[in-house]
Amino acid sequence: MKLTILGTGFIARFYAESLHAQRRKDAIHVVYSRNEDRARKFAGDYKLAHYFTDMDDAVNHPATDTVIIALPNNLHEAAVMACVKAKKNVLCTKPLGRTSAEAKRMLDAVEAAGIFAGYLEDLCYTPKFLKSCASIRAGALGRIFWTKSREAHPGPHSDWFWDKEQSGGGAIIDLGCHCVEIGRNFIGKDIRPVEVMCWADTQVHPIEAEDHAIGLVKYANGAISQFEVSWAFRGGMDLRDEVMGTEGTIWLNGFLRTGFEMFSTGKGGYVAEKSETDRGWLFPVGDEAHELGYSHMFTDMFDSIETRREPLETFYDAYIVNCILDAAYSSAKTKLWEPVKIDDWRGKDIVENTSHLVSYDDEFYLIKEETLSDGEVKLILKNKKTNEIIQRRL
């Protein structure tokens, strides 16, 4: 791929580090920044031939066939439309829009133009996550009925995140987009999200947006997906996921306390993203870009472009995430379950709640079967006609 990257901030540098270290045949040739000094420095750091402060010049440069958007949220739509006009492949960082309306305009535009559009949702590409999804698809966990995703850290690196107008919100729009899409992947992206209950508040920082939130997303098949997000967590970046199914459970720890621990008196410098200290007991990450999913993400995107297939994460997925987050913000205000409003649903139309009733025989449902310490097997049964609950030893 011949790449242009729009943006020179923290995420742009993470992308550049990943791109120049993975497939070896993909390279950034052009960078755009609103600040010329930053554009020049970025180009120098990554040995890029061209840098611009005009977005159209960067997007339309002949050395580019694919554009990566790593800009503040309020600039995503303009950048996508520039790619549409130029008929260039476009990959956009999360969240796609500040609202579902913004995301829908971008989705409609790329589809009308017939250009490739990928959603850079890196946490849906981590090695642990991909293997978990494969296990779920293979039936290892049975029917998925509950998921939980948590992302918490001391807050973003750049000033625009903290500005509600530029970002579109606070911790929900910044981190909830990850957690919601993780839950969708576990439950099934063809299952419709129907309503959301969310609590959000500004508990620590002097900002207008929320810095802490917890939400529940209810799906048409009865599954519940929980998200917990915070810009007020102290101690680094906490990424954890849980999945419960009728046949099993998965626990994931994506970044903090993953088996790499180090003590230092503070002379080593950088430790890991969002780490608040460089002394004492520390939790480094071996290969941050890999562990956060960037390597697998870009490989999937570029392979998808070359083979003309959809990537694992699309602009449509991004639109559905924005619809769910819209409902979360509404619920945070009303303190009620709020419907997820989707103008263009492409999944299953009707999904009946999978029955939780397991027959033991013609007379009873099975509630639980367990082997006791004396070796006997105990059954907890429910009478199908009377609803009486009994226990029986075998």
Three-state SS for 227-261 is EEEECCCCCCCEEEEEEEECCEEEEEECCCCCCCC
Residue 355 reports pLDDT greater than 90: no
Note the pLDDT of residue 260. 83
pLDDT tens readout for residues 296-319: 999 999 999 999 999 999 999 999
Q: Residue 98, CB half-sphere, CA atoms under 13 Å: how many? A: 19
Average pLDDT for the chain: 93
Note the pLDDT of residue 265. 83
Task: Note if the pTM is more than 0.75.
Answer: yes
Q: Cβ atoms within 10 A of the Cβ of 203, count? A: 12
What value does the mean pLDDT take over residues 12-36? 87
Do the strands 377-383 and 238-245 form a parallel or antiparallel pair, or are they unpaired? unpaired
Percent of the chain at pLDDT exceeding 90: 80
Residue 23 reports pLDDT greater than 60: no
DSSP state string for 153-175: -S--SSGGGG-HHHHSSSHIIII
pLDDT tens readout for residues 192-224: 999 999 999 999 999 999 999 999 999 999 999
- Please answer whether residues 230 and 209 qualify as being in contact, where contact means their C-beta atoms are separated by less than 8 angstroms: no
Residue 47 reports pLDDT greater than 90: yes
Note the pLDDT of residue 389. 96
- Evaluated on CA atoms 27, 32, 38, 43, the torsion sign reads positive
What value does the mean pLDDT take over residues 147-167? 95
